[in-house]
Chains A and B, each alone.
Chain A
């Protein structure tokens, strides 16, 4: 089995994995980071979005071995020193989540949106979320949360 080394939430990890192991399975099973969720098998739902070298990636579209040497951040790595990241706090304040299953992917995707685009209009936010499906919220409060989270991240 190939060996893979990467940095996950600031910690370097090395594991032997089957070549076909997806990054999602590696995070969930090998590292027990179960905040990254699997909601589909066609890379549509976005529940598994993590950051690889700072960019949002669907962890189900990537093999673990492809993340060799990469810096990976999962939802567990977003809050710092027990303080919610501004985007997490905005999701709570604006009721941007219900069942919580799509939430890690939504938040990770939203953080990348702000990092990439800075300010974004409602239309741009809705377009950006094309790869994240939520069945509970109707997106109304997710959009509000991202607008507020973006503002908080800039300040």
Chain B
């Protein structure tokens, strides 16, 4: 293995610029003549907008324009679309209310977009925004998802505020099996609402070139082509060829930068309208109010077992809060990315899931790191742990009894997926060893002697990544295909430019993809340059989310490299006067088999661009593109174990140890993979221990800043023990599965199972804040 090849922990190419302050994020860019946009946002959760008086704002110093929903309506700007049609259990498509970038007549959540002020400076725009007078006629707010169906109506075309009532699985079979089960464990769970909080706030700069009649949009996007497609085809009605979207360095995404939001839409529209480049940089307060939020499920789960502790059926009933409007992929998160994962790692033969998705006067909810799969894992792993406790079986043992065995793959679950490969017990055993499970009782006693409560919790998760086969998602309602593109361009002098439809916002693609191409083509890694994020230079691609970049985008690059080698063989055969069939390629050299004749790939590239001596029937150039559409999802899986200690006098939880054993298939860069796992665990622990999005009964966001929304900080977390097992994915050329979301999927259940173990009650909701923990611990002490 070369030290820069597949499997090596190559230090990241992108780090030099990030470490020296030379990264170029959207807000670092400025365009000549730009104006600054500040949005007037609703301070009310639900109100009719009777009038908007812009006169004073328009007359304020530096103001260029004040624009409202009426102006957008007059220009024919459309509604922000939802790109996935979910068909409900009665065969009806989901309810799809209008979602205009600037409201026309009604505001539906605090932070909703009422008007935009454009001024010469950001501070002038901000000052003037204070002068916009909006006459709000207050309406009662509908905030609590459990009561949403009986609450005030948000949208005329969504009766009972119901987006859909959907189901998956055989309900009759599940009811029958539960009625015969030796034991049924029931748990009620809340998956708390989260605010993604990528550290770079969203931003956009749009400009319009009157000479070419075309737009350029710089945006904090995870998927520039998707953003362009939505903006052009659905909202602004401009030709795709006339909009270039550039997502430069992007400071984290976690799902929240997938979507087409009101802000970049308004900037693009206003750039043409005003004839000036329009820049908007979100403040953190705006991120809290108006970035798509995550999770927000309420669930009852029942797990039936036979006398031997084998799972016989599972029944899940969920209410999902979608917020005030449908964000682009909101509908598929609590359905196809959730219910399809409810088999987990287990052989449960029958499963039924019902999901009611409701509208409330809160920010739109969409995919956030894991998207549906953390919710599914939380449901399964909490009920399995509770079941083990109820029937008095060791929770690790109960899981092993029910794991899909290694010889059962491909394994068809009762909830529509076919798992590709896995060795679940192997990961579990390794995790038990890492955490020293055998030594836990002694450690618990030691904690007890200090007056502390110690707990241990498991999470044996599975996820469906590498989203996804286009035909499959199309049949389930997706409005787009989910392939990825890759282009490998040899330059005449032997360096390689790699163009990918994937987008890196922390994942390190410039390094991982360079390793892949360097290793495959045998060129030094420093001669490989990865280009991403610019629709003006990359082939049409779907972007980065769902842990898909390497499995789908990397596979596309692998296929493009294959084409390069195939063409190179033809050129080499001509130059060395041999048959193409006799040409072998290895580590950057084409050889005539059985001879000492050889040509380096650089020589072949030169010949391709200076084709003085060249095959007659071959096009010049060495530049190949591949679109890769996966045959199946990939199914990373593993076991995380959390051990923690609670101080009953303060309610403070200290994580004593964390063992993660994940199976991501083949690993290209172990250093980057471990980093992804660390970050995922931190986000999962954040959800379980600290983070919580809270609206009051009037729909005011109570957790609208870092003063109130508790982000995980360095002193909340331990160092993690992270290892992998390797069960290659059998259906993509690289054998890789995806690692970006695993930690966030696994961690909440592991943490909460440890908390409930320590406290001796299942009855505590995320986040397990010191106050909640303290109350339970104190009540328990009082009862003793």
Q: Is the CB–CB distance between B720 and A140 below 8 Å?
A: yes
Produce 1/0 per residue, A95-137, CB < 8 A to B.
Answer: 1011111111001000000000000001101110110111111
Q: Is the CB–CB distance between B714 and A100 below 8 Å?
A: no
A125 and B506 alpha carbons, distance in the complex (Å): 23
Q: Is the CB–CB distance between B285 and A41 below 8 Å?
A: yes
The answer to the question of B199 belonging to the interface, with a C-beta cut-off of 8 Å to chain A, is yes
How far apart are A99's CB and chain B's nearest CB, in angstroms? 3
A139 and B21 alpha carbons, distance in the complex (Å): 20
A35 — nearest CB in chain B belongs to which residue? Answer: B21
CB neighbours (8 Å) of A68 from chain B are: none
A147 and B24 alpha carbons, distance in the complex (Å): 28
The answer to the question of A33 belonging to the interface, with a C-beta cut-off of 8 Å to chain B, is yes
Q: Is the CB–CB distance between A44 and B679 below 8 Å?
A: no
A20 and B675 alpha carbons, distance in the complex (Å): 40
The answer to the question of A2 belonging to the interface, with a C-beta cut-off of 8 Å to chain B, is no
Query: Which B residues between 644 and 695 are near A, CB-CB below 8 angstroms?
Result: 671-672, 674-675, 678-683
The answer to the question of A47 belonging to the interface, with a C-beta cut-off of 8 Å to chain B, is yes
The answer to the question of A92 belonging to the interface, with a C-beta cut-off of 8 Å to chain B, is yes
Q: Is the CB–CB distance between B706 and A95 below 8 Å?
A: no
CB neighbours (8 Å) of B188 from chain A are: none
How far apart are B509's CB and chain A's nearest CB, in angstroms? 11
Query: Which B residues between 271 and 328 are near A, CB-CB below 8 angstroms?
Result: 283-285
**Among candidates A18, A39, A97, A141, residue contacting B200 with C-beta atoms closer than 8 Å:** A39
The answer to the question of A56 belonging to the interface, with a C-beta cut-off of 8 Å to chain B, is no
Most buried by A among B24, B507, B674, B711: B711
Q: Is the CB–CB distance between B706 and A44 below 8 Å?
A: yes
Total interface residues in chain B, CB < 8 Å: 56
Produce 1/0 per residue, A62-105, CB < 8 A to B.
Answer: 00000000000011101100001000100111010111111110
- State whether A99 and B21 are in contact (beta carbons under 8 Å apart), knowing that A135-B198, A141-B675 are contacts in the complex: no
Most buried by A among B249, B251, B508, B681: B251
Q: Is the CB–CB distance between A104 and B679 below 8 Å?
A: no
How far apart are B695's CB and chain A's nearest CB, in angstroms? 19
Q: Is the CB–CB distance between B12 and A139 below 8 Å?
A: no
Most buried by A among B16, B283, B679: B679
Q: Is the CB–CB distance between A104 and B21 below 8 Å?
A: yes
CB neighbours (8 Å) of B25 from chain A are: 34, 37, 101
The answer to the question of B713 belonging to the interface, with a C-beta cut-off of 8 Å to chain A, is yes
Produce 1/0 per residue, A27-52, CB < 8 A to B.
Answer: 01000011111111110110100000
The answer to the question of A59 belonging to the interface, with a C-beta cut-off of 8 Å to chain B, is no
Q: Is the CB–CB distance between A36 and B681 below 8 Å?
A: no
- State whether A97 and B252 are in contact (beta carbons under 8 Å apart), knowing that A44-B706, A47-B199 are contacts in the complex: no
Q: Is the CB–CB distance between A99 and B251 below 8 Å?
A: yes
Q: Is the CB–CB distance between A97 and B18 below 8 Å?
A: yes
Q: Is the CB–CB distance between B715 and A76 below 8 Å?
A: no
A122 and B717 alpha carbons, distance in the complex (Å): 11
Q: Is the CB–CB distance between A129 and B20 below 8 Å?
A: no
Query: Which B residues between 9 and 32 are near A, CB-CB below 8 angstroms?
Result: 11-12, 14-25, 27-28
- State whether A135 and B679 are in contact (beta carbons under 8 Å apart), knowing that A34-B28, A36-B21 are contacts in the complex: yes
**Among candidates B24, B123, B505, residue contacting A99 with C-beta atoms closer than 8 Å:** B505
| Interface size range on A against B | 35 or more
The answer to the question of B197 belonging to the interface, with a C-beta cut-off of 8 Å to chain A, is yes
A35 and B712 alpha carbons, distance in the complex (Å): 24
The answer to the question of A142 belonging to the interface, with a C-beta cut-off of 8 Å to chain B, is yes
CB neighbours (8 Å) of A104 from chain B are: 21
- State whether A99 and B15 are in contact (beta carbons under 8 Å apart), knowing that A129-B713, A137-B679, A139-B717 are contacts in the complex: no
- State whether A75 and B250 are in contact (beta carbons under 8 Å apart), knowing that A39-B201, A139-B682 are contacts in the complex: no
Q: Is the CB–CB distance between A135 and B252 below 8 Å?
A: yes
CB neighbours (8 Å) of B705 from chain A are: 40-42, 44
CB neighbours (8 Å) of A42 from chain B are: 284, 705-707
Q: Is the CB–CB distance between B251 and A138 below 8 Å?
A: no
A98 — nearest CB in chain B belongs to which residue? Answer: B506
**Among candidates B24, B506, B711, residue contacting A136 with C-beta atoms closer than 8 Å:** B506
Q: Is the CB–CB distance between A102 and B20 below 8 Å?
A: no
CB neighbours (8 Å) of A98 from chain B are: 252, 506-508, 675, 679
Q: SS class of chain A's interface: helix, strand, loop or mixed?
A: loop
Q: Is the CB–CB distance between B675 and A39 below 8 Å?
A: no
A47 and B28 alpha carbons, distance in the complex (Å): 14
A42 — nearest CB in chain B belongs to which residue? Answer: B705
How far apart are A149's CB and chain B's nearest CB, in angstroms? 11
- State whether A95 and B672 are in contact (beta carbons under 8 Å apart), knowing that A34-B28, A42-B706, A126-B715 are contacts in the complex: yes
The answer to the question of B774 belonging to the interface, with a C-beta cut-off of 8 Å to chain A, is no
Q: Is the CB–CB distance between B14 and A100 below 8 Å?
A: yes
The answer to the question of A8 belonging to the interface, with a C-beta cut-off of 8 Å to chain B, is no
How far apart are B521's CB and chain A's nearest CB, in angstroms? 25
A104 and B675 alpha carbons, distance in the complex (Å): 18
- State whether A92 and B15 are in contact (beta carbons under 8 Å apart), knowing that A42-B706, A139-B682 are contacts in the complex: yes
A42 and B223 alpha carbons, distance in the complex (Å): 29
A136 and B683 alpha carbons, distance in the complex (Å): 8
The answer to the question of A143 belonging to the interface, with a C-beta cut-off of 8 Å to chain B, is yes
A21 and B15 alpha carbons, distance in the complex (Å): 31
A142 and B671 alpha carbons, distance in the complex (Å): 13
A78 and B719 alpha carbons, distance in the complex (Å): 28
A91 and B675 alpha carbons, distance in the complex (Å): 12
A36 and B743 alpha carbons, distance in the complex (Å): 29
The answer to the question of B259 belonging to the interface, with a C-beta cut-off of 8 Å to chain A, is no
A45 and B199 alpha carbons, distance in the complex (Å): 8
Q: Is the CB–CB distance between A40 and B284 below 8 Å?
A: yes
Q: Is the CB–CB distance between B675 and A99 below 8 Å?
A: no
CB neighbours (8 Å) of A91 from chain B are: 15, 19
CB neighbours (8 Å) of B28 from chain A are: 28, 34
**Among candidates B19, B198, B508, B720, residue contacting A84 with C-beta atoms closer than 8 Å:** B19
Q: Is the CB–CB distance between A99 and B707 below 8 Å?
A: no
Q: Is the CB–CB distance between B27 and A38 below 8 Å?
A: yes
A33 and B200 alpha carbons, distance in the complex (Å): 16
CB neighbours (8 Å) of A37 from chain B are: 25, 199-200, 251
Produce 1/0 per residue, B497-522, CB < 8 A to A.
Answer: 00000000111100000000000000
The answer to the question of B254 belonging to the interface, with a C-beta cut-off of 8 Å to chain A, is yes
CB neighbours (8 Å) of B199 from chain A are: 37, 39, 45, 47, 99, 101-102, 133-136
CB neighbours (8 Å) of B21 from chain A are: 33-36, 74-76, 104
A47 and B620 alpha carbons, distance in the complex (Å): 49
CB neighbours (8 Å) of B15 from chain A are: 91-92, 97, 100
CB neighbours (8 Å) of B22 from chain A are: 35, 76
A146 — nearest CB in chain B belongs to which residue? Answer: B714
CB neighbours (8 Å) of A127 from chain B are: 714-715
Q: Is the CB–CB distance between B23 and A35 below 8 Å?
A: yes
CB neighbours (8 Å) of A141 from chain B are: 674-675, 678
**Among candidates A34, A38, A88, A142, residue contacting B714 with C-beta atoms closer than 8 Å:** A142
How far apart are A142's CB and chain B's nearest CB, in angstroms? 7
Name A's B-contacting residues (CB within 8 A). 18, 20, 28, 33-42, 44-45, 47, 74-76, 78-79, 84, 88, 91-93, 95, 97-104, 107, 122-123, 125-127, 129-130, 132-144
Q: Sample 15 A-B pairs with CB under 8 A, ordered by A number.
A: A34-B25, A35-B20, A39-B200, A39-B284, A74-B21, A75-B20, A76-B22, A92-B15, A101-B198, A129-B713, A133-B706, A135-B198, A135-B711, A136-B506, A136-B675
Name B's A-contacting residues (CB within 8 A). 11-12, 14-25, 27-28, 123, 197-201, 249-252, 254, 283-285, 505-508, 671-672, 674-675, 678-683, 705-707, 711-715, 717, 719-720, 743
Given contacts A137-B679, A143-B714, 11 further A-B contacts (CB under 8 A): A33-B21, A35-B21, A41-B284, A42-B706, A45-B706, A97-B18, A98-B679, A99-B200, A133-B711, A135-B679, A140-B720
